Structure 1
């Protein structure tokens, strides 16, 4: 993440990172190095402390996943989050000498992971995930509807909490574009159906009201 070192593309506050996690809960949990290197896609949730600071990511793994044994041996891991992204075409610009690019939001979290197979920890984790994903749905589903199947499912799950030791994030969303070009890129992305990237670009824009890319 070379752009993570460029202040132009930095998160403006913790809220940007939380918005990214909310928009893209599915992440890669990575334990690199060694013969038992492990890479698992899984949903992760933000955990905040009493002061509202992002301090951990929480989720769960199947107990049979070899990644569990790796984390018990070495709890250091990274979570990779790829948020909204889109190809940016010079064909949308009056100035066709410009190069293609890619706009995106992404983050890397360095973690120290603790695992638990305590029934209450597992229930708390599964219930929190279901509440997060089902809460706004009509006729939302609940854990209780599983009945006796829940106990069998829970026996195969390990709860995970990754204390965050470092966060690196990049929000490359057209901050370096000229006003006229920015407006044309927004229009091109909109025509291509990239509404989510357009919304993120508008949110990060400091041009006028941040809506149309014009000063």
Structure 2
């Protein structure tokens, strides 16, 4: 009799757990990865690259750290556009960001009005506007840059350092690696823009950036 009571109690508990979990899971969002690119096949589908002179007719896919990356960029505006996405009310953007060589964080060179800026915008709305430092100067990331802000130490929130590629070539800490993840409410077509405003401009060997492992996910919250 004791065994039957225990068995019955266990069955009731199991049923309760199943119902509770069903109630939790039924409202989980639907997620669809609609774009993924590690650039190993040398394609930059849906991307356009601009300089101050206009559209650049170049792949801009290079080798770095034994892999292909999209870049290197300096004084460039990199635009991703996709008109048709799965049904969604939010999107998640993920990629590896590499900052190569002499990024100087929040340092203002003599006569400069701004530091080395890196920016990400979604549908023309800036969501990240920040600085990175590979040296002694502090940076603003993981926060957005503001004058008179509280500085973050160089390499804050980085995933590590890697060799430089040009002015810091051969230096073990010449590049820094960051994981960018950003989720926001969103509907309709997508326009994702990445750009830099370095000091000085058009200084590809002095400082540059690249991305890898881009993953875009459409999310439908019910």
Answer whether TM exceeds 0.5 for this pair: no
Q: Kindly name which structure, 1 or 2, has the bigger radius of gyration based on alpha carbons.
A: 2
Q: Which has the higher strand share?
A: 2
TM-score, with length taken from structure 2: 0.23
Q: Normalised by the size of structure 1, how large is the TM-score?
A: 0.24
